[in-house]
Structure 1
Amino acid sequence: MSKQVVIAGGGSAGTVAALAAARNGAQVLLLERGECLGGVATSGALSVWGPFDDGDRLLDWDRDGRIEAGQPLTPEMQVGKRIIKGIPEEILQRLTDAGAATDYQYGFIPVNPETLKLVLEDMLLECGVEILYGTQVYDVVRAGDRIAALCIGNKRGSQQLPGEVFIDTTGDADVAEFAGVPTETGRASDGQTQGVTMVFKLGGANFAGRFYQLREEISQAEERFTEAYQRGECTHLYKVGCINKIPGMSGVVAVNTQHSYNINACDPKDMQKAILQGRRQCHEIAALMKKYLKGFEQSFLLETAQYLGIRETRRITGKYVFTREDILSAREFADSIGRNAYNLDIHLPGAPGIGDPIFLKPGSSYSIPYSVLLPQKIHNLLVAGRCISSTHEAQSSLRIMPCCMVTGQAAGTAAALCLQYGCLPGELPIKVLQAKLREQKVCL
């Protein structure tokens, strides 16, 4: 089963990395612990992407309301310039053509997770990627400063998978950690990571627009939630959170509100706690919404996510560590491999709430340097997705799925070019990589 490029993790970053590597001529094997591709967007039930543009994020919800009300958008209300293109845009177009994604003019984009699973598999199979589901990486075999093979386990037992270039898109930097790459976890002060969330789906919802944003109704419902908590009707004090309709599923919504705190998602005991707590709380929240939230009187719980929504665990220490200041200054890097415009979005580690989001100026975005994909110590490994080299604060912007796809496309393209040029990822001329990314319509 030896392949030239072996990728661990079939979420948004890993799937796009596999596509990019295969389209550029590499033989690719993609390993995924679950039974579908897409990660948080599918198994995690978080079926909303965005932003793909550099518009004013504070206007996203108002823009949604105006469009649904049939009101024209004034120039300042228009969505921004699209800065995430390439393979992510291609996936989005396939979903849109299938009626499984909403019009881009809104900003944030709900997608249909079932269609997404099929679209991603079709795209990988079209270019010859081999997918191995139900497979976990548990160690690596090193040969000096390189990885010789990944140690994997599945229903056939354990085995070693050799390769020439490896890409870690596990989200938790598992491969990097096993190989001895320096990593950091959480805040610099105490190692605490952002809260984790179990997303759930409801059927029978009835409201206008793609997102539930009736402010008065939300305020009234949350008052009732508080009273219910004080009466002992529920175990925690809940918020309504983010609710979005799922395209092609009448009356079905995804609800992103539950949080578990003080969780290290790389610790199995903490994960057990978060899963058990999360599922119980999803049932409680669903019951409260049915009882107290307008438009949910006939709602019912359809599904709790198969995977927890993990915002942050390990991050590699790479050749460069991306910082908060790089984002807020909209820094331009000479080794740029893509762009992002999402705000700083820290879900507090130890208590309910979200740290004050800090937004970029409308029309601005920052470049992502290739050097944050290059780990220290191991020279035939690339890293993409939410575990790239960054600080705790910067990671809160980099972690979103469109940005993970951007870094995935860069990593997959770089891996294939390394095979063509007979070099290691850190030796690949940046202008060669950038030229190839531009050919693939990536915005640098």
Structure 2
Amino acid sequence: MGTIIEADVVVCGGGPAGVNAAIAAGRSGARTVLIERYGFIGGMSTAALVYPWMTFHTTEGKQVIKGIAQEIIDRLKERGASPGHVRDTVGFVHTITPYHPEHYKVLALEMLREAGVKLLLHSFIDHVDTVEDQRIQSVRLTTKSGKIDVRGRVFIDATGDADIAYLAGAPCLQGRDGDRLTQPMTMKFRMRGVDLARVKQYMLENPDEFYKKTPFEELPNLPLSGVLGFYKHWKEANLPINRDQVLFFTGPEDDEVLVNTTRVQGLDGTDVEDLTEAEELGRKQVLLVAEFMRSRLPGFERASVSSVGAQIGIRETRRIDGVYALQVDDVVQGRRFADVIARSGYPIDIHDPSGKGVTAAWVQGDGAYDIPYRCLLPQRITNLLTAGRCISTTHEALATTRLTPSCMATGQAAGSAAGLAVKHGVAPADVDMAELQSVLEADGALLN
């Protein structure tokens, strides 16, 4: 018999959604455990170098995500580890939020401790024990110190891949309709030694080589935060990577960029053999792209690779087939829902599962859409909530809800809902909506 840990709320996955869920649940007074497979917190933001966080605002610049997510930004700013929300010089969104991942790892741990959360790192969930096929009793961890059963009253799946829902038998979907293909994976990497003033000067002199939404009129007076383009250089290089431009973001240091240009398509992020192949392909592409940038791009003459993701970045895998699936029309029309628990202003942003391009669609209305509580609720399993990338959406709508600030917001909502479910002894589906919304707004979330 292995070790048994008892909790009220068990949060599975320590990425941005899981961190915010655990903080919210812990602050509610519920005994909360957060389980993470790596030896550090942050999920895709740290393990895969997903950077910067985008976006907390609409394309017009109205902030629509605050709460615990904004508290994290404010506390990072106090440490000099984030400039806060800055203008996106790519022009795809209004603001992006650079941050220092090492400071985020430490701050998240501090905030979890403050909230009374018990943290279990280096713990891989390999089994879910259900009762009568409708309620989770415990999750089993494989660890260096043997098997551990973590029992709880409410569970939150913040694994990104809907691992808990899937193992528990809740209906799940994957990829786009028909072929189940998902958005490509990307191995992200950082380069130091970049002359960003030289890059900016080249952009101002050659605007046709960059994304049409780049804010060139403002650019002379803006700090360079991101670059999309170098179309001519990329085309001439003819690298074996199925995309049509270079994308990188600046920081955290003055001579540093985060490169989001590799692309691994056609592989399944829930299949261990596909993941193994993806890691190999991604790392080979990193070296190809880095050499191309160093040898061909103005400002990169003295640049070199300074870090590569601990794992490949994954945009899309499984998601729950929940009580309600957010639709593409809900996003594009800026639809409002009575059971809103979070909002987002990020556009539809589909990196093509098989082609070169990116499909974008902007949010109409006031520039933001609601995420309803029903999207966090799976079918069949009564004491499970989801948060982050694996909530219930269509393939197209996932292309906006998967972004980090949205994941942080749905994480806070799931943690707050779990706290109320424990407090009142009810299933998550039976939490009083007005009370949940009141709790979220009291904790700084924006629902209007």
Q: Does TM, normalized by the shorter one, top 0.5?
A: yes
Q: Report the Cα distance in structure 2 between the residues aligned to 1:163 and 1:94, rounded to whole angstroms.
A: 31
Counterpart for residue 130 of structure 1: 118
- Residue 250 of structure 2 is matched in structure 1 by 245
Give, as a single letter, the amino acid of the residue that structure 1 aligns with 2:83.
T
User: Does the residue aligned with 1:338 lie in a helix, a strand or coil?
Assistant: strand
Query: What amino acid sits opposite 1:250 in the alignment?
Result: D
2:104 paired residue among 105, 113, 116:
116
CA contact (8 A) 1:259 1:352 kept: no
Mapped pair 1:40 → 2:44: yes
- State the 1:350 CA deviation: 1.5
SS at match of 2:283: helix
Structure 2 residue corresponding to 1:88, chosen from 69, 74, 80: 69
Q: Is the 8 A contact 1:13 1:408 kept in 2?
A: yes
1:93–1:211 Cα change, 3 Å: farther
Secondary structure class of the residue paired with 1:110: coil
Superimposed CA distance per residue, residues 290-311 of structure 1 (whole angstroms, 9 cap, x where no aligned partner): 0001111100011110121111
Alignment partner, residue 283 of structure 1: 287
Alpha-carbon offset, residue 115 of structure 1: 1.0
Q: Paired residue for 1:382?
A: 385
Q: 1:100 aligns with which of 81, 95, 100?
A: 81
Q: 1:358-373 residue pairs with structure 2 within 5 A?
A: 358-361=361-364, 363-373=366-376
Shift of the 258–139 alpha-carbon distance from structure 1 to 2, 3 Å rule, reads: same
Q: Aligned with 2:173: secondary structure? A: strand
Aligned residue number for residue 405 of structure 1: 408
Please point out which of 419, 436, 439 is paired with 1:436.
Answer: 439
Segment drifting more, 261-270 vs 150-159: 150-159
Q: Distance in 1 between matches of 2:99 and 2:193?
A: 18
Inter-partner Cα distance in structure 2 for 1:442 and 1:221: 39
Residue of structure 2 in register with 1:140 after alignment = 128
Partners in 2 of 1:315 and 1:255 — Cα distance? 27
Residue-by-residue CA offset, 1:50-89 (whole Å, 9 max, x unaligned) = 2111234xxxxxxxxxxxxxxxxxxxxxxx2211010000
Q: 1:55 to 1:210 in 2, by over 3 A?
A: farther
1:52 partner amino acid: F
Unaligned ranges ≥5, structure 2: 88-94, 211-228
Q: List per-residue Cα deviations over 1:189-240 (Å, max 9, x = no partner).
A: 21110011010010111114999992738569543444443xxxx5446655
Confirm or deny: 8 A CA contact 2:189 2:260 kept in the other structure: yes
In structure 2, the residue matched to 1:17 is: 21
Q: What displacement does 1:3 show?
A: 1.3
Determine the structure 2 residue equivalent to 1:77.
Answer: none
Tell me which residue corresponds to 2:232: 223
> CA, structure 1 residues 240+298, in 2 after alignment: closer, same or farther (shift >3 Å)?
farther
SS in 2 for 1:377: coil
Which residue in 1 is equivalent to 2:222? none
RMSD, aligned CA: 1.9
Match of 1:198 among 176, 187, 205: 187
**Structure 1 residues 59-98: aligned runs within 5 Å:** 80-98=61-79
**Residues 1:211 and 1:173: Cα distance change in structure 2 (over 3 Å):** farther
User: Quick check: 1:21–1:413 contact (8 Å CA) kept in 2?
Assistant: yes
Distance 1:381 1:370 in 2: 13
Look up the SS of the partner of 1:332 in the other structure: coil
**Partners of 1:253 and 1:391 in 2: CA distance:** 32
* Alpha-carbon distance between aligned partners in 2 of 1:118 and 1:362, rounded to the nearest angstrom: 38
Change (3 A) 1:25 1:208: farther
Structure 2 equivalent of residue 160 of structure 1:
149
Give the Cα–Cα distance (whole angstroms) in 2 for the partners of residues 127 and 103 of structure 1: 24
Letter in 1 for 2:114: E
Return 5+ residue gaps in structure 1 as ranges.
Answer: 57-79
Mapped to 2, the partners of 1:223 and 1:364 lie a distance apart of 33
Answer with 25-34 or 200-209: which moved more: 200-209
Match of 2:318 in 1: 314
- The superposition leaves residues 100-145 of structure 1 with CA deviations (integer Å, 9 ceiling, x where unpaired) of 1124242111111111111111111112111111111111111121
Whether the 8 Å contact between 2:244 and 2:356 is mirrored in structure 1 is no
Alignment partner, residue 346 of structure 1 = 350
CA contact (8 A) 1:226 1:238 kept: no
What residue is the counterpart of 1:61 in the other structure? none
Whether the 8 Å contact between 1:211 and 1:245 is mirrored in structure 2 is no
Letter in 1 for 2:362: F
Distance 1:264 1:385, change over 3 A: same
**Percent identity between the aligned chains?**
38
Range with greater deviation from structure 2 (215-224 or 310-319):
215-224
**Letter paired with 1:241:** V
Mapped to 2, the partners of 1:210 and 1:154 lie a distance apart of: 47
Give CA deviations for 1:333-382 in whole Å, capped at 9, x if unaligned: 00110101110101111232212x00113742111100010100000000
What displacement does 1:158 show? 2.2
Shift of 1:328: 1.1
Aligned residues: 415
SS of 1:42's partner is helix
User: 1:244 offset after TM fit, Å?
Assistant: 1.5
State the shift of 1:387 in Å.
0.6
Which amino acid in 2 is paired with 1:246? G
Name the SS for the 1:243 alignment partner: strand
The TM-score, its normalising length taken from structure 2, stands at 0.89
